[in-house]
Amino acid sequence: MSDMPTLDDAADAQLVAAHLAGDGRALGAIYDRSGDALYDTAAAMMRYRDDAADVMQDVFVTASGHMGELRDPDRLRAWLFAILRNEVYRRPGNSRRQVAIDVARHRGETTLAPTLTGDPSTVEFQQLARRVRGAGAGLTERDQLVAEFSLRRGLTGNDLADALGVMPQQCYGLVHRMRQHTQRSLSAYCVARTGRDACPELNELLLGWNEELSTLVSKRVARHIDDCEVCRSTRSTSAPFALFGAAPVLTAPPGVRERVLGAAHHELDTTPYGFDPTNGFPDVIRYARRTKIWVVLTAIALLVSIGTTIYVLAADDQDTPSPPAGSATPSSGETQTIGSDADRRSVSALGVDPDHPRTVVTQR
């Protein structure tokens, strides 16, 4: 057992050491410290809460079996999010979230104020923050993950890079591009949600809108804002990054903790990916999945190409005219001599000596 005074006060590195020493309480303490943040991210990335709970279970089963590979135990939190990344990406595509869980549940229950007060304690701020975070479903898969890890979880530097599975020098570019894309997209969503009363043209543009952030809606509203002074003023009052980060945490349903820890203590680890021996972080599996897709697509394209070739050749054979009945057709190896006056003139036009007519061999 660990010699720590209490597990609640232990540092991450101490919890890792306690788990590796066989202290059965250590994994529970790790869950209590990081479980809400992990589940909140999983629930935002997945379509259904049951899928998020499955992701959590696999994260802790994997973490329990591979914690000894983590080279710097003080980086436990970033390591857990790196495992979460892989567990999300190895799920089938139809398990991924396209409509935010909390948005689907709360849609139509409230009417937002026409402007954002900026006070996180107000109901309007919390409602809009929840919806802006849910609008992350309209972001690209990469931008959504970068936003979740950097804006929601506060990961930076090497921790963010390793959690995302990229080189540190790539991380700055990913965050910069995410902020550019997200700023425009989520600002458009904020204006769409709060600016319709102030701008009749925007209200007409959004007639029939289902309150979800699609690429089409985002582009239309963003272009409208560029040309509308009223909506530009509304956009200046929004703070999409602050709203995204301040959205209420999605907490795990009752019973998930017991289920996750029970599986972690008793299930055999069957993690389908390896861990980097230099730092102990999990290898990225996202690109392997894409490679498989490209292999399948390439094979399909090859089969289509072969089938098309066979069809064309068969069609050519059917279209080849048969010689008229009774006509003389030279057999293989027989020759035809070009020697008539017309032939001599044709051959002469080609620059061939007509006194030495060519012999054409016709094969069937």
Tokens standing for residue 50 = 């049951």
Q: Which of 9-18, 42-51, 202-211, 242-251 is predicted most confidently?
A: 9-18
Of 299 and 47, the structure prediction assigns the larger pLDDT to: 47
Query: pTM of the full predicted structure?
Result: 0.69
Q: Are 185 and 246 contained in the same domain? A: yes
Q: Are 54 and 173 contained in the same domain? A: no
Whole-number pLDDT of residue 184: 87
- Measured CA to CA, the distance from residue 90 to residue 60 in angstroms comes to 16
In this structure, of 42-56, 131-145, 155-169, 225-239, the range with the lowest mean pLDDT score is: 131-145
Tokens standing for residue 59 = 């994260």
Q: Are 113 and 245 contained in the same domain? A: yes
User: Does 212 fall in a domain?
Assistant: yes
CA diameter of the chain: 115
Task: Find the mean pLDDT for residues 231-244.
Answer: 89
Q: Binning pLDDT at 50, 70 and 90, where does residue 31 land?
A: very high
Q: Are 72 and 107 contained in the same domain? A: no
pLDDT of 126 higher than 60: yes
Q: What angle do CA 60, 62, 68 make, to 5 degrees?
A: 105
Q: Which domain holds residue 62?
A: 1-97+254-284
CA distances 166 to 55, 146, 173, 294, 341, Å, are 21, 11, 11, 21, 79
What's the mean per-residue pLDDT of the chain?
Answer: 78
Distance linking the first and last C-alpha atoms of the chain? 90
Q: Are 79 and 12 contained in the same domain? A: yes
- Structural contact between residues 67 and 275, judged by C-beta atoms closer than 8 angstroms: no
Q: Are 10 and 37 contained in the same domain? A: yes
Q: Are 244 and 135 contained in the same domain? A: yes
User: Does 115 fall in a domain?
Assistant: yes
Q: Are 89 and 197 contained in the same domain? A: no
pLDDT of 108 higher than 50: no
Of 363 and 18, the structure prediction assigns the larger pLDDT to: 18
Whole-number pLDDT of residue 310: 74
Q: Are 102 and 246 contained in the same domain? A: yes
Strand locations in the chain (E): 335-337, 359-361
Domains contained in the chain, number: 3
- Structural contact between residues 88 and 51, judged by C-beta atoms closer than 8 angstroms: no
- Measured CA to CA, the distance from residue 326 to residue 312 in angstroms comes to 30
Q: Are 12 and 146 contained in the same domain? A: no
CA distances 271 to 123, 255, 267, 279, Å, are 43, 24, 11, 18
Q: Are 212 and 264 contained in the same domain? A: no
